[in-house]
Amino acid sequence: MVRNRFGKRLFRTMVVSVLATFVCAAAVQAAEDWKPSKPIQFVVPYAPGGGSDIFIRSIENVVKAEKLCPVPMMVVNQPGGGG
């Protein structure tokens, strides 16, 4: 009886694992086909020149230098609102 329950549980776990693998593979394929159609805006909730601003601008420079994004990217500083 115990062995039969363990076998069923193992079988269910294997089936769920295989289905999850197929679902994840389909999601990865869909993500690879998607491309942005409008310019991307990085919103920095602080004033220009701060740590967050410098960090996101360095990321923007790397993305531009490596040509990782087909559309232009902009950094938009919007201070206020409690960050």
Counting the structural domains of the chain, the total is 2
Does residue 78 share a domain with residue 41? Answer: yes
79 C-beta neighbours (distance < 10 Å), count: 12
| Mean pLDDT for all residues in the chain | 80
Q: Mean per-residue pLDDT for 27-33? A: 63
Q: Once rounded to an integer, what is the mean pLDDT over residues 5-31?
A: 71
Position 15 scores a pLDDT of 77
In terms of domains, do 61 and 30 share one?
Answer: no
- Structure-token match 């769920």, residue found: 16
Q: How far is CA 54 from CA 44, 48, 79, in A?
A: 10, 8, 14
Residues 82 and 47 in one domain: yes
- CA-to-CA separations, 83 to 40, 51, 65, in angstroms, rounded: 20, 13, 29
Q: Are residues 29 and 43 in the same domain?
A: no
Range of the domain at 6: 1-34
**Of 11 and 32, more confident:** 11
- Same domain, yes or no, for 44 and 64? yes
pLDDT at 31 over 50: yes
Confidence category of residue 65, pLDDT binned at 50, 70, 90: very high
CA distance 55 to 80: 19
Identify whether residues 45 and 80 lie together within a single domain. yes
